[in-house]
Structure 1
Amino acid sequence: MLLYIHIPFCDSKCHYCAFNSYTDRFHLKKEYMNALKKQLKFELNQKLNNNEKLETIFIGGGTPSTVKVEEYVDVFQILEKFIDKNTEITTECNPNSGTTKWLQGMKDLGVNRVSFGVQSFDDKKLRFLNRAHNSKGAIKAIQNAKCIGFNSINCDIIYGVEGDSFESIKDDFNTLKSLDIQHISAYSLTLEEGTKFFNKSEVKIDDEELSYKFFEYLNKIGFKQYEISNFALDDKFESKHNYGYWQHKNYLGVGAGAVGFVTNKRFYTKKGLEEYIQNPIEYEDIEELNQEDIIVEKVLLGLRCKNGFDSTILNELQNKKVDELVELKKLTKNGNKIYNNNYLLADELALYILE
C-alpha cells in the first residue's frame, strides 16, 4: 500500500498550476492539519491489513514546506507503526520555504527523499512562471539538503515554455548534474483549464524533436529515462511511489482533493478546504472501476514507463495489434510482458491497441 498526503497551501500560484492549492487560506493551516490527521487515522485503520506496512509515503501539494515541521510531528506519530526502514518517504519542497531548519526537521521525522520544485535556473523564466524563488535560492536549498544528509534528491524542471531552447534547458540539466542530484523530473508545459496560462497558446512550445534531444542529452550525462518524464542516475534512485501508481498498486489519498485507489475503487476527498475540515472522512465521490477500466489503465500506465504491461490482460484482437507493433519495432515483447520503445508515443500506441 502507498500513501499520498496533500498539503494545499502555497506562497504563490504558478501560472501553469492546476493542482488543488491556495495562497489565501493560511489561517486554516492548524485546522486543516487536525482534519488531515483525523482522515489519516481513518484510512489506515479502514484499509490496511493487520501488520501491513506502507511501501511509500509521498507528501505533496501545494507546498508541504509552507507548513511548519511541528505540525507534522503528530502525523508521523500516527504513521510510526505503519512504516519500517524500507519505507520510501518523500516530501516535496519549494526552494524559498525549504529552509535548512525545515529540511533537518523533516529528516529527523523520517523523511528520506526530497523533491524540489526548481523548474528552472533562469531567473527571467522563473518570474514568467510566477515562481517564488530565484536560481540562487534553488541552488542553496539543494546544497543545504545534501549537507543535512539527504542522498536521494529529485528536482523538477519544466520545458516547452516560450523562450526555451535546447541550450537553455541543457544549462538547467548541467547545473543539476554539477549539484550531484540523483533524479530529474522533466515536464513539458501543459496549458490546463483554470490556470493563468490557459488559452495562451503562445506561451507553449510544441516541439517533439526538442523533447527527444532533451531525453538523449539526459541519457548522455547519466540520467536514464524510466518513465516519460522521469530520469534517474541509478535504479535505486527511481521513485518507488510513482512506480506504485504505474504498477496499479493500491494507494491511500489523504488531504483536500487527494485521491485513493483500493480494490478497484477510487476514493475522492472533498476539494474545498472548509468542506474538508468540516468532515475529512466523508468522500466527495467513490468511483467503481470495472475490468475494462482496469485494463485500459494498466496498458496506458505500462506504456508510459519501463514497467510495461502483461499481455494476458488483452483479448485476441488486442494481442494481434500488439504483435503488429512488435513487428514494427514500436514495442518489445519478452514472454508475456510488453514494453514500449518510445514513451512519447504511449497514448497513441495505447489507443491503437485498445480501440
Structure 2
Amino acid sequence: MLLYIHIPFCDSKCFYCAFNSYTTKNKLKENYINALKIQLKENILKHLKTSNKLLNTIFIGGGTPSTIDAILYKDIFDMLKPYFSKNIEITTEANPNSATFEWQKQMFDLGVNRISFGVQSFNDEKLKFLGRNHNENNAIKAIQNAKNIGFNSINCDIIYGVMNDDFELIKKDFDTILTLGIGHISAYSLIIEEGTKFHLNEKSLNKTKQSLKIDDEELSYKLFDYLKSIGFEQYEIANFAKDDKFQSKHNFGYWEHKEYLGVGAGAVAYVNKKREYSQKSVEEYIKNPTYIDTEELNDEDVKSEKVLLGFRSKVGVALDIFSDKELKKIDDLVQIDKVCIAENIVYNNNFLLADEVSLYILD
C-alpha cells in the first residue's frame, strides 16, 4: 500500500506553483500535525488493520515538508511504524533553504531513506526568475549534507522550458547533478497554471506576443538524449534514474494504478475503485480531519487511467483490457513503431506522445 502525507506550508510561494500550499498560515503548523494524527488514527490505521495490509511506500510532499520541525513528525512515524513493510521506501520532499543538516539528520533517524530536493536550477538568475528563495550554493550544500548523513537515494527536481532556457543552460544543471553523485532526476517542462503569478504575468506578455514558457519539443528530445548519454535512463515522461534501485517506488505505484492512501489538506486516496478527497482548506481540515468526499470510478474510468499512466511510463498496459477494435489500433501503431508488445504488455516508445497514443487507441 502507498501513503501520501501532504504538508501545505511554504516559506515562499514560487511563481509557477499551483499546489495547495501557503506562506501565511505557519501559525497553524502544530494544529495541522495534530489533525494529521487524528486522520491517520481514524482513517488510515483502521483501513490498514481491517485490510491486513502493510505500507510499501510513504511520500511526504507539499508544500515544503522541511518547513516543519522534524520532531513534529516523530509521533506520525511512531503510529505508522507497526505497518512498515520490510523494505519500505520513505521519501520526503525538501527545499535547499530549509533542509538544514540537523533537519535532514533527524528525518533520516526517524526512518526517511529517500529525499527529493526542489532544486529546479543551479543558475541563480533563473532561480530568482522562478521565485525560488535559495541559490546554487544552498542547493549544493543541502545535497552534500544529505550524502554525508547517509541518504543513498536522492532526487533533484529540475524545471526546463522557461523563458531564456536553452540546451547549454539545462545541460549545466544536469552536469552539476552528475558531479554531485545523484542517482535520480525529475525534469519537468514548465506549465503555466491558472492562479499562479506566472499565469498573471503571462496574460500581460501575451499582448507583446511573448511567453514565459518555451514550447520546444526539439529541446526536450535533446535533453532526454543527453541524460541518456550520461547514464540516466528515462522510465517515465519526467523521471530519469542511474539505476533501477534509484527509481521512485512510490510513483511507480501510481503508474501501475495501485491503491493508495492520502492524509492532509487536499490529499487524495484511491481505494476499491473510489477516489477519496480530504478537505482542501487548511482551516477546515484542522476542524474536521476525518471528513472525506468520495467519487465513484466506473470500469471505463479505471481503464482510461491505466492506459494514460501506463503509456507515460515504462509500466506499459496489459493487452487484455483492450477491445478488439482497440487491439486493431494497437497493431496499426506497432506497424509504424509508435508502440511495441512484449509478454502481453504494450509499451509506448515515446513518453512525450503518451496522451496522443492513448487518445488514438481509446477514441
* TM bucket normalised to smaller: over 0.9
Contact 1:158 1:187 in 2 (8 A): yes
Match of residue 196 from structure 1: 197
The 1-side partners of 2:346 and 2:41 are apart by 39
Match of residue 352 from structure 1: 360
Match of residue 6 from structure 1: 6
Equivalent AA in structure 2 for residue 176 of structure 1: I
- Give TM-score scaled by structure 1 length: 0.98
Q: 1:222 aligns with which of 227, 231, 234?
A: 231
Match of residue 35 from structure 2: 35
Deviations 1:267-309 (A, max 9, x none): 01101011000000002x2110000000000000000000101
The 2-side partners of 1:318 and 1:218 are apart by 34
Deviations 1:82-115 (A, max 9, x none): 1133000000000000000000000000000000
The count of corresponding residues between Structure 1 and Structure 2 is: 354
Match of residue 292 from structure 1: 300
Cα offset, 1:50, TM superposition: 5.3
Aligned: 1:259 with 2:268: yes
The 2-side partners of 1:335 and 1:257 are apart by 38
**4+ residue runs over 4 A deviation:** none
Match of residue 169 from structure 1: 170
Deviations 1:247-281 (A, max 9, x none): 00010010001100001100011010110000000
Aligned: 1:310 with 2:318: yes
In structure 2, runs of 5+ residues without a counterpart are: none
Contact 1:51 1:82 in 2 (8 A): no
Aligned: 1:26 with 2:26: yes
Deviations 1:172-229 (A, max 9, x none): 0000000000100000000111111115161000000000000000000000000000
The 2-side partners of 1:108 and 1:85 are apart by 17
The 2-side partners of 1:134 and 1:348 are apart by 38
The 2-side partners of 1:47 and 1:223 are apart by 38
Q: 1:301 aligns with which of 288, 309, 313?
A: 309
Contact 1:300 1:350 in 2 (8 A): yes
Contact 1:8 1:61 in 2 (8 A): yes
The 2-side partners of 1:140 and 1:120 are apart by 14
- Percentage of identical aligned residues: 63
Cα offset, 1:51, TM superposition: 4.3
Cα offset, 1:46, TM superposition: 3.3
Q: 2:249 aligns with which of 240, 247, 250?
A: 240
Equivalent AA in structure 1 for residue 310 of structure 2: G
The 2-side partners of 1:40 and 1:176 are apart by 36
